[in-house]
Amino acid sequence: MTVMHPVSALRLFSALILLATATGAAAQTLTVTPRQIDFGDMKQEQSATANVTLTNDGAAKLVIGKVDADCGCTVPTLEIKELGPGESTTMVIRFNSKRFAGKIFKTVRVESNDPVSPLIDVIITANVTTPLIVDPASHRVGFKRAPQGEVQTQLVTFTATEADELEISINGTRQGLFEVAVINNLDGDPRRAALEVTVPADMKPGRQRDNVRVRTNIPEIPKVDIEMRCWVHQALAVSPAAVNWRFKSRFKSSVRVAATGKDIEFKITGAETDLPEITVEINETVPNVETLIVLEGIPITSEDERAVANKGRIKGTLTIHTNLPEQPTIEIPVTYMVRM
């Protein structure tokens, strides 16, 4: 085995260091100035702009790739993305404080072909002040998907940062779907209040949305609009929600009835339509879990008085009976067309 002399080894190491340094100096190098921007104190929904200089301090062409922010409130704009040695360009950063409150930190990331620092972050900070803090800041209340009959409640809290006393009031929701109540002097603090939002037991099935306007005694923010959403489902789900046929000489379709939860067991006790030309058959595919209602028949003729009276559009209803007290019947529209 050949052993390298210590002096030779040192010279080789020094040569490698010089080679690496020379290679780095010959490459493109991105310098970003400044790396941090502090917009200071801002009010809500206020905009501010700052310029950032991007410079190629290397000896090769610099190519800037993606430039994006971690929030829609911060928008970077960069028109020139290729820089020769020594060249610079300006990136404009626009920040909107939206409904934030307190100290805010956001990031703009710049990607380039700089071999040493391919990713460089610019940190954006601001202190957003407001006479009224609303939580959630989005002014939206969303409830988890739940079966009909389950009551859910959430609080929207309001905190006055300058006034000694806060008072809120409402006149009910726009559509009357949700139950809302005002709590002033929340937890014994006169500067805090809350809006109690409840999904009632009789909320109709489906995706529901409503709004409520909250009035305050804060002159700068006299009103706050709160959006409420929920998704209520029944014990049984039906698919499709309607049966339609167009100009068929014979028709056959199935309606699937299934439990929406693992703890739900049911039985279809009967099914019929008010269209005598359609027969109904009940097939329990998975006992207590899934049932298919099969509809089959032959359309009436164009001379039939019903076809004439309805101009060929025949409408009826499939009525399904279950053993569930909370959902004893299900009605499905049935429609077919007769060519006249």
Share of the chain above pLDDT 90, in %: 84
Is the separation of the CB atoms in 168 and 218 below 8 Å? no
Please tell me the least confidently modeled range out of 5-9, 83-87, 264-268. Answer: 5-9
Q: Same structural domain for residues 196 and 260?
A: no
Q: Which residues contact 328 (CB under 8 A, 6 or more apart)?
A: 321, 322
Strand (E) or helix (H) holding 42: strand 36-43
Positive or negative, the Cα torsion across 268, 273, 276, 277? negative
- Confidence at residue 12, expressed as pLDDT on a 0 to 100 scale: 47
Mean confidence (pLDDT) of the chain? 91
Average pLDDT over residues 74-84: 96
Question: Which of 233, 267, 290 lies at the terminal end of a domain, its last residue?
Answer: 233
309 three-class SS: helix
CATH, residue 64: 2.60.40.10
Q: Is the confidence at residue 5, as pLDDT, over 70?
A: no
- Predicted confidence at residue 11, as pLDDT, reads 55
Say if 14 falls within a structural domain.
Answer: no
Rounded to whole angstroms, how far apart are CA atoms 79 and 72? 19
Domain end (from 99, 129, 159): 129
Query: Do residues 248 and 311 share a domain?
Result: yes
* Same-domain status, 97 and 158: no
Higher pLDDT, 111 or 235: 111
Per-residue CA distances from 273 to 15, 88, 326, 328 (Å): 92, 76, 22, 16
Mean pLDDT of 70-91: 96
Q: 261 to each of 148, 199, 236, 258, how far by Cα in Å?
A: 12, 19, 8, 9
Question: 329-337 and 243-246 as β-strands: parallel, antiparallel, unpaired?
Answer: parallel
Tokens, residue 292: 């298919």
Q: Residue 321 pLDDT more than 90?
A: yes
Residues 226 and 257 placed together within one structural domain of the fold: no
Domain count for the chain, please give it.
3
From edge to edge, which strands make up the β-sheet containing 290-297?
A: 236-239, 251-259, 290-297, 278-286
For residue 79, pLDDT beyond 90:
yes
pLDDT tens for each residue of 24-40: 456 999 999 999 999 99
Give the residue from 190, 196, 197, 186 showing the smallest Cα distance to 217.
190
- Residue 108 tokens, joined: 């703009």
User: Which of 129, 148, 172 finishes a domain?
Assistant: 129
Q: Assess whether 35 and 56 both reside in one domain.
A: yes
Q: What is the CA radius of gyration of the chain?
A: 34
The answer on 327 and 277 residing in a single domain is yes
Whether 203 and 246 share a structural domain = no
Mean pLDDT calculated for residue range 216-237: 94
Mean pLDDT value across residues 217-244: 94
Domain that holds residue 333: 236-337
Output the pLDDT for position 26: 67
Helix, coil or strand: residue 90: strand
- Position 331 scores a pLDDT of 95
CA atoms within 13 A on the CB side of 200: 9
- 227: in domain: yes
- Give pLDDT, residue 18: 39
